[in-house]
Amino acid sequence: MTPDYQALSVAGWLLVISFLQLALYPTLKKCLRQYAFPAAFAASLLIFTILTWYCGLARFPVQLALVPFVLLFTYHLYRRDYAWSELKKEWRWELVFLIFFFLMLTVRFVNPTISYAEKFMDHGFLASVMLSPVVPPLDPWFAGGTLDVYYYLGYWLFGCLGIVSGVPSNIAFNLSLPTVLGVAAVTVYAIGTLLLDRIRWLPLVIFILPNPSFFYQIIIGKGLNSVLWDSTRTITNTINEYPLFSFTWGDLHPHVISIFNQVFLIFLLLYLYKHWESLESRDKWIVCCLAALSLGSMPLINTWDVLIYAPITVIFAALIIMRGRKQGLGLSSWGHLIAIPPLAILIYLPFYLMLKTSTGGITIVKTPSDPFQFLLVNGWFIAIFLLLLIKDIRERPYLLLVAVPFILAGYTAAAIAAVPLLYFIVKKEHSLPKILAILGLLLLIIVELFYLKDNMGDTYFRMNTVFKCYLPAWIILGISAFAMAGAWLARPGRVPVMPAKKSAVLATLVIGILFVTPFLVPLDLNYGSRSLDGLAYLDTAHPGDAGGVAYLRNLTGNDRIVEAEGGDYTYYSRVSSFTGIPAIIGQPFHEFMWRGDTTGWYSTRLVDIRSIYEKPDQTVALMKKYNATLLYVGDLERDTYTVNLPASGLIRAYSDRGTDIYRLAG
């Protein structure tokens, strides 16, 4: 795809996002005040998502979800709510969004390929949604199955954005993470503004800061090509990602997509806590409904998040209620808060009724984290907390004894987190950053003591729990730690107020360095196509597949396809992943994790695929068994099977550069 087409795709994508945000923004001005503009980014995306989701559930065109936004925009235009004098005041929010959007876009431009890790899955789900936007979406790796076994709402959101903006999936894939980062950044900047009088940008550091392990890997002599990866595999047999890695690595995966929604809910809870008493009842309802929408979207975007943020939401509601009761306020003053959890369930109730998945329950950790490894992951925040608590520790050193029971039980890492936790708890004054610190430290301790059992085996028993909990912990602790650090630095005599011109020059220099960095570090993994087309690399790396995939992506209808199977995290399953057309089986272990194998499909489907390619007397019958209409024969199929197709029953629909695509006759 030409550079001009890609530029138009970026423009169209941003136009849709800006329209959604601007349509909603005036509605939020009364309840969210100065934060209406930044909050409208995440809020409008979540509202657009639920509207398109119900369109998909009802089998209506998802484009209908734009109608309420058009009506809202027209209404506010009629009321003259878009005065230029007002919009000019919001330029800082827009600038933050665009800086981080284009910063991430630069990273994707340098390394756009859908070629490794979870990118095959991520694009496959995105392409499936765009090919057939129905609820539940079709599973591209399991012909006849749907994604009711997995949390797919993030793919749905960006798939629908691609549909309404006219951006194809191979480019939408590379615009999605920039959107996540841009929206998350402007929301965190709003949090910084809410919590700090000065140095409000400091919490944004959570997105560009490596963990301590990153620097440790350099010190011990690791090569630059492995430092980033190894820093996320620090705690033995676990994954401990942080935002800089997640965005740089580039998987459009649920745990990354969910970041914008996580920080949005944190913002809403902090805002409610700080401004509850000054809000009118209508305004409380609007903010609480937004909180319910955010919380209710979590099980569908990344289910692990709701296990963390549902209790956090309840805790914040309880704190507000307790404060209200001390002031003599009755039920009518906080009934809105009680409505958040049930509303969160009700808004996506059909999803829960369709869900077909299970978990193994909560189990006690018997092999906790090595304390040194724990600090290599969480050390920045622990260090900031302890430095800020030095005075308290000197005054009450006996509270350090809280670590003893954990150490005796063998949970030394938990003991490290327990020390600042207790000191924050016993403080008389509980500011919002300290409340966040308490919640984040509690999360670290819980992950040290318990894990959610899955089918990852004995060696990697904690992998998913640490993986899915440490990223929220990084966000919560990072916002807390840098908000506290910002407040400390802003005290008289510490960091003087910088003149506006010098501040602008410094900011421009830092932003410039950030934009240049992706071109200076080896992020391209030897592809380096310098494009926003995630499939452009096929032209040189897999020319046979390039034409075949392009042909299939232009088809319409409800096809299913047969392609070679070759395990997980490989180039196999590339046809279904690149087109969204369901294959008999894609990456089988992924499907096994989601579906189990109670019906014996695992071995049956793999054997049937081989028979389709190698036993001509069974080819047509087995294709009909799975309602497959297309048969793909490329280099991988010929390398994997002794291809022997029947003389009749198949019609060659495409043939070029060693790739043949057959359609079932009749």
- Residue of 56, 57, 51 whose CA lies nearest to 71: 51
Burial class (CB in 10 A: 0-12, 13-18, 19+), 58: exposed
Rounded distance between C-alpha atoms, residue 198 and residue 486, angstroms: 7
**In this predicted structure, which of 35-39, 503-507, 584-588 has the lowest mean pLDDT?**
503-507
Q: Distance of CA 166 to CAs 71, 341, 473, 492, 522, Å?
A: 21, 36, 36, 53, 32
Alpha carbon distance 64, 52 (integer Å): 8
Q: In the chain, where are the structural domains located?
A: 3-208+258-354, 370-495, 538-664
For residue range 205-247, what is the model confidence (pLDDT) as tens digits? 999 999 999 999 999 988 877 898 999 999 999 999 999 999 9
Q: What phi and psi values does residue 452 have, to the nearest 5 degrees?
A: -95, 120
pLDDT of residue 358 exceeding 80: no
* pLDDT exceeds cutoff 70 at 359: no
For every residue of 525-590, DSSP letters joined together read TTT---SS-TTTTHHHH-HHHHHHHHHHHT--S---EE-----SSSSTTHHHHHH-PPBS-SSHHH
Cis peptide before 136 (omega within 30 of 0): yes
Half-sphere exposure of 430 (CA within 13 A, CB side): 18
Tokens read off for 481: 């730690």
- Split at pLDDT 50, 70, 90, the class of 362 is confident
- Over residues 303-323, the pLDDT tens digits come to 999 999 999 999 999 999 888
Return the structure tokens found at 392. 């308290």
Q: What is the mean pLDDT of residues 263-280?
A: 95
pLDDT in tens, 588-643: 988 988 888 878 888 899 999 999 999 999 999 999 999 999 999 999 999 999 99
- pLDDT at position 329 is 63
Q: For the chain, how long is the longest CA-to-CA vector? A: 88
